[in-house]
Amino acid sequence: MHCWFFSTGIGLQGSVEKAVRAAGVTVGSSLHKLSENMADRILHSKSDNTNKKYFDVFRRWKHFCLSHDCCALPANPVHIALYLNFLLDKHSSFSVISSVVYAIKWVHDINGHPDPTTNSFVRHLLETSKRCSHKPVCKKEPLTADILINLCNYFSGNSDLLVIRDLSMILLCFSGFLRFNELSNLLCSDLKICDSYLVLKIRKSKTDQYRHGDEVVISKGQTVACPLTMIRKYIEIAEINLDDNAFLFKPIFRSGSTCKLIHKNKCLSYTGTRQAILKRLSLVCDVKNVGLHSLRAGGATVAANNGVNDRCFKRHGRWKSEACKDGNVADSLQSRLSVTQKLGL
């Protein structure tokens, strides 16, 4: 039903029917019945989030066309250029402009129409949007291992579940180069603890387009900020069963002296996680320009500066660059563990 909504909203269902009839297929025939779910299948070539984003952007383009008495699909390249100029007049960012171009290109492509975004006017206005950035990019500051060690020293001896949960998330994000979605989607069964390292099963990653999944190995540390020690403490206090398919990190409730994970299988929200982590970090550093990505960037920065093998580095961080080359190399466990062994935790 979700895909059907998109396929009708962008005219894809009608385009499929038209193409099938043009191919001489009789309506109601056995061959025609094979086209019933073809529009939905075509949409599955991209993720649901990408489809939703492109659909919302195309809907705004369609509304612009209706208000100016022009056609949204198939579109006239000059009309697209005028729309981009309209957005630039409103000081829209490059991100907004590029989303419009790619959404219009996507809808035309799946409907079998020529791509109008190859027009020179459109291409040059897209380039213009890069040069007319009205808001400078301000990247978050990467965190250092010393900050995390100071934080764990600050809470040394503390056994409060809320504190241990937050510290566990911080150390896993830093040492595993985890994105927020990778952290929040971790299940108890995705965690495997060994004597000198732990293994995280990443079921879904931003760069894992075809859901092959990946594993992240994290070595035991030598300081109070050891990820393995902290996650063991969290599992013990939270009474977590690693065979469960419940979320590893969940909201916590307090009732008197009781502090436990909620019974409902609900993952943490981005806002709640960010507030919890920044609250802890603010005790040992300035968090004015710090976000959740500062943990991933911080771990990657420390590893890169300490000469971690480039192939293991990219694999540990699940980056797409040179994926074909790296995918043909079978790294030893010791080589993969060397990433977190050099973080100084």
Q: Is the pLDDT of residue 334 over 60?
A: yes
Residue-wise over 307-328: b if at least 16 C-beta within 10 A, else e?
A: ebbeebbbbbbbeeeeeeebee
Q: What is the reported pLDDT for 332?
A: 63
Q: Is the pLDDT of residue 324 over 50?
A: no
pLDDT per residue over 156-198, tens digit each? 989 999 999 999 999 999 999 999 999 999 999 999 999 999 9
In the prediction, which pLDDT does 136 show?
63
Band (6; pLDDT cuts 50, 70, 90): low
pLDDT tens digits along 206-264: 666 555 558 899 999 999 999 999 999 999 999 999 999 999 999 999 888 889 999 99
- The pLDDT, as a whole number, for residue 326 is 43
pLDDT value for 230: 96
- pLDDT confidence band for 7 (50 / 70 / 90): low
Pick the CATH number of 2-131 from 3.40.50.620, 1.20.1050.140, 1.10.150.130, 3.30.360.10: 1.10.150.130
| The pLDDT value given to residue 225 | 96
Q: Tell whether pTM > 0.85.
A: no
Q: Indicate if the pLDDT at residue 13 is higher than 90.
A: no
Domains of the chain, residue spans: 2-131, 145-341
Six token digits for residue 102: 């790619």
pLDDT of residue 325: 41
Residue 267 pLDDT > 70, yes or no?
Answer: yes
Percent of the chain with pLDDT over 90: 57
Q: Check if the beta carbon of residue 323 is closer than 8 Å to that of residue 212.
A: no
Q: What is the pLDDT of residues 35-53, one digit of tens each?
A: 888 888 888 888 888 888 9
List the one residue out of 162, 117, 149, 302 whose CA is nearest residue 226. Answer: 149
Residue whose structure tokens are 């009474």? 239
Distance (Å, whole) CA 86 – CA 68: 12
- Yes or no: is domain 145-341 CATH 3.20.10.10? no
> CA gyration radius for the chain?
25
Spatial distance between the Cα atoms of 5 and 2, rounded to a whole number of angstroms? 5
Average pLDDT estimate for 281-286: 95
Identify whether the C-beta of residue 297 lies closer than 8 Å to the C-beta of residue 140. yes
* HEC secondary structure over 177-222: CCCHHHHHCCEHHHEEECCCEEEEEECCCCCCCCCCCEEEEEECCC
Residues 6+ apart with CB under 8 A from 25: 31, 32, 35
pLDDT at 309: 81
pLDDT higher than threshold 50 for residue 328: no
